Amino acid sequence: MRLVVSVVPVAIGWGMMLAGCDRIPLEQPAATDAVASWDGLYMTQCAGCHGADGVRGPARPLADPAYLATVSREDLIRVIARGQGTFMPAMGTVAGGTLADAEIERLVDGMRKVWGKEGAALATPWAGAPGSAQAGGAVYASFCQSCHGAPDGRSAGSAGSVTDANYLRLVSDQALRSAVLFGRRDLGGACNGPYDGQPRDRRLSAQDVADVVAFLASRRPESGRSTR
C-alpha cells in the first residue's frame, strides 16, 4: 500500500511547506476581474499550499478528479470557509477570512468543473466514523508497512514514514483519511493496490480505512512529548 502523504513528510516536507508559505501574499490584492475568476481566486488564495495548477504543493493536490468527485460541493465549501485541521485556515469572512460566500462557491465550482470532470466517486466516503486503532495496527502491518516502514517511525520505507511524530503533529485525522483514500496522484503514488503480500484484487474496505486512520492517529505524540 503506497500511502503518499497529504503533507510531504519530514525530510522534504518542511522545505516545501516554507516554500509554499512564501507564496501566500501578506496583503490581498484589490478586486479585479482576474481575482474574481475561479482560477484567479485559486492562484491568490490556494496555490501557495496546494500548488500551481492544483498539484505539487506541500498540501493535498486539488486537481484530483477522484477527490473532487468524492468530496461533496457542500463539504468543499465548508472546509474552505471554516478551515480544517492544523494547516487549513478558515478563508471565509464568516470565520474571519477574506473570501465572501460567492467567491468560495465560484472557486469550488471552477475546480470541480475543470479538474473534476473526469472523476468517479469512490465507494468509501471521504469522511466517516472513527475506527479501531487496535484493528488498524493489523491493517497497517498487512497493507502499509512494506512501503512505509515499521510503525515506530524510525524506518521510512520506500514511500516515506507516515508514523513519524513530526508528520503526525502536522496532519489532521481527516488529512490522514484523504491520504489513505486518494494517495498523491501528482507524486505518482496510489493507495488502491495491489499491495505487497496481498492478492491483486484485494482492496481496503471502508472499515479498514477507518481502522488504519485510527491507528495512525494513535501514534500522534502528545503536545510537548519528545519526537525521538
Domains contained in the chain, CATH given: 10-115 (1.10.760.10), 133-218 (1.10.760)
- Using pLDDT thresholds of 50, 70 and 90, give the confidence band for residue 22: very low
What cell does 98 get?
A: 477574506
Orientation angle between helical segments 101-115 and 73-82, nearest 10 degrees: 130
Which ranges of 61-172 would DSSP assign to H, the alpha helix? 65-70, 73-82, 101-115, 133-139, 145-148, 165-170
- Do residues 68 and 113 make contact, with C-beta atoms less than 8 angstroms apart? no
Average pLDDT for residues 92-120, to the nearest whole number? 94
DSSP H or E stretch at residue 213: helix 206-218
Average pLDDT for residues 161-180, to the nearest whole number? 92
Residue 21 in this model has a pLDDT that exceeds 50:
no
- Do residues 180 and 209 make contact, with C-beta atoms less than 8 angstroms apart? yes
The pTM (predicted TM-score) of the whole model is 0.78
Average pLDDT for residues 190-210, to the nearest whole number? 79
Q: Residues, the chain, total?
A: 228
Residue 192 in this model has a pLDDT that exceeds 80:
no
Side-chain half-sphere CA neighbours of 35 within 13 A? 10
pLDDT at 199: 75
CA distance 18 to 4: 20
84 DSSP β-pair partners: 88
- Using pLDDT thresholds of 50, 70 and 90, give the confidence band for residue 1: low
